């Protein structure tokens, strides 16, 4: 039976040099044969391209990111091009990706760097000073674009390391994170650190998957403590995530003269700067019907007819599960909503605005009720 990779230096958590060399060699060889052809990998030395890709990849699957990345980079091929763009226009390229604070930060950082005539920082410390860049993203950019010897440990890499070295610590605990970080630091090679980080990422997403990892195809299986000890199914140890909050919200699709009313969300926070149908959270003390009246009044209008309950839309976010109760209602006096945060739109003009996936879904779920509603007049 193979020995644990830490066998001779276990107490100090040190990986013996021969094991380090073997893991590096095997992993890089596997990567050279199996690496995914991803558009940002064709611009490996371009820190801006790596930055865009890494920000998009936060919380989003690679397959989803590819199309978004290609469209974004075609429209904003350089940091300066992104800095010059209007925020509403940039948001359009992010629509559907979710977690809109990411694009807000990326755009702010691009503008700030260009105002100072600066370039993308080439160190983890410098990158971490930019909004929206944490340690993992900084290490990925610094290693891939600048060849810095910085280990990038995200959830995927943490899982592989915990199994490979049989780390029986909660990988979300400070101690677990310290141990994994130390292992990653010992392993990262001087040459090709960017490829090495990407090799971990690919191994974690294609072979050492959360469920049913393909250990028999894994280039590291003879070095893997969990594989040898048959504990793969028990690792990594992970404390449960924050509880998901259940939220109920009333949505008013207000119609007048063949147009629908949208309002713009404030900058910062969830769905920052996107357009949406007016909505409000349901609390124990207020009824849906009263809320709808209040929403209309907030928008400077009154309900003309009994609203139609048009749809119920469930939307899941990482820490929130929202149930939208969607009502369609004709309202009077379209001109009263003249604030810049409101806009009356047709179906066609709505397509040109940046709208969250949740509200696009609300629109399509309420479509027949919208089409059958009595035409009001402005």
Closer to ligand SF4 at the Cβ: 112 or 214? 214
* Active site (annotated) includes residue 54: yes
* Shortest distance in whole angstroms from residue 233 CB to ligand SF4: 9
CA–chain centroid gap for 161, Å, is: 23
Residue 344, SS3?
Answer: strand
Backbone angles phi, psi at 289, to 5 degrees: -65, -40
To ligand SF4, the closest distance from the beta carbon of 55 in angstroms equals 27
Q: Which of 12, 54, 150, 225 is catalytic?
A: 54
DSSP states of 237-284: B-PPPPPPEEEEEEEEEEEETTEEEEEEPPSSSTTTT-EE--EEE--T
Report the C-alpha gap between 137 and 326 in whole angstroms: 38
CB-CB neighbours of 237 under 10 Å: 14
Alpha carbons 232 and 229: distance in angstroms, whole number:
8
| Shortest reach from residue 155's CB to ligand SF4, in Å | 14
Q: Of the two residues 25 and 319, which places its CB atom closer to ligand SF4 in the complex?
A: 25
β-partners of residue 154 are: none
The phi and psi torsions of 207 (rounded to 5 degrees) equal: -115, -55
Distances (CA, A) of 366 to 1, 39, 77, 282, 362: 62, 37, 38, 19, 6
Closer residue to ligand SF4 in complex, CB, 226/262: 226
By beta-carbon proximity to ligand SF4, the closer residue of 31 and 227 is 227
Q: Which residues bind to ligand SF4, rule: CB under 6 A?
A: 160, 163-164, 207-208, 213, 215, 218, 220-221, 224, 226-227, 232
| Neighbouring C-beta atoms of residue 364, cutoff 10 Å | 11
Give the separation between CA 222 and CA 215, rounded to whole angstroms: 10
Q: How far is the CB of 99 from ligand SF4 (least distance, A)?
A: 28
Q: Which is nearer to ligand SF4, 26 or 265 (CB)?
A: 26
| The total number of residues written for the chain in this structure | 378
Query: What DSSP string runs through 128-147?
Result: HTSTT--HHHHHHHHHHHH-
Which C-beta is closer to ligand SF4: that of 79 or that of 164?
164
The nearest distance, CB 149 to ligand SF4, in angstroms, is 22
Q: Considering the complex, what minimum distance in angstroms separates the CB of residue 217 from ligand SF4?
A: 8
Beta carbons of 257 and 251 less than 8 angstroms apart: no
Q: 114 with 93: CB under 8 angstroms?
A: no
Minimum CB–partner distance for residue 287 and ligand SF4 (Å): 53
Nearer to ligand SF4, 19 or 133 (CB): 19
Any idea what DSSP says for residue 53? H
Whether the CA torsion 181, 182, 187, 190 is positive or negative: it is positive
Give the nearer residue to ligand SF4 in terms of CB position, either 206 or 333: 206
Peptide bond preceding 51 in cis form (omega within 30 of 0): no
Min dist CB 167 to ligand SF4, Å, is: 12
Which residues are catalytically annotated? 54
């Amino acid at each position: 039976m193979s020995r644990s990779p830490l066998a001779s230096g276990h107490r100090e958590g040190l990986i013996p040099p021969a094991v380090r060399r073997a893991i590096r060699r095997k992993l890089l060889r596997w990567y050279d044969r199996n690496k995914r052809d991803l558009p940002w990998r064709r611009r490996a030395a371009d820190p801006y391209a790596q930055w865009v890709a890494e920000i998009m990849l936060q919380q989003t699957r690679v397959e989803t990111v590819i199309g978004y990345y290609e469209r974004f980079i075609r429209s904003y091929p350089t940091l300066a091009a992104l800095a010059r763009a209007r925020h509403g226009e940039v948001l359009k390229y992010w629509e559907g990706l979710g977690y809109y604070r990411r694009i807000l930060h990326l755009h702010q950082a691009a503008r700030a760097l260009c105002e100072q005539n600066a370039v993308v920082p080439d160190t983890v410390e410098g990158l971490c000073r930019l909004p929206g860049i944490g340690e993992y993203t900084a290490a990925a950019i610094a290693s891939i674009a600048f060849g810095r010897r910085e280990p990038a440990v995200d959830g995927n890499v943490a899982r592989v390391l915990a199994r490979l070295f049989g780390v029986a610590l909660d990988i979300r605990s400070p101690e677990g994170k310290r141990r994994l970080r130390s292992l990653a630091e010992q392993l990262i090679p001087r040459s090709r650190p960017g490829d090495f980080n990407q090799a971990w990422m690919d191994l974690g997403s294609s072979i050492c998957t959360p469920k049913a990892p393909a250990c028999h195809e894994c280039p590291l299986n003879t070095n893997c403590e969990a594989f040898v000890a048959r504990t793969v199914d028990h690792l990594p140890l992970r404390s449960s995530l924050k509880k998901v909050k259940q939220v109920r919200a009333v949505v008013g699709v207000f119609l007048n003269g063949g147009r629908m009313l949208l309002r713009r969300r404030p900058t910062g926070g969830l769905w920052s700067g996107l357009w949406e149908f007016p909505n409000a959270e349901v609390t124990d003390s207020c009824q849906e019907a009263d809320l709808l009246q209040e929403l209309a009044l907030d928008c400077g209008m009154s309900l003309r007819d009994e609203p139609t309950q048009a749809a119920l839309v469930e939307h899941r976010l990482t820490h929130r599960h929202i149930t939208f109760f969607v009502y369609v209602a004709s309202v009077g006096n379209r001109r009263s909503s003249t604030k810049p945060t409101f806009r009356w739109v047709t179906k066609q003009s709505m397509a040109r605005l940046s709208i969250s996936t949740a509200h696009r879904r609300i629109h399509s779920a309420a479509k027949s009720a919208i089409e059958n509603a009595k035409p009001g007049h402005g």
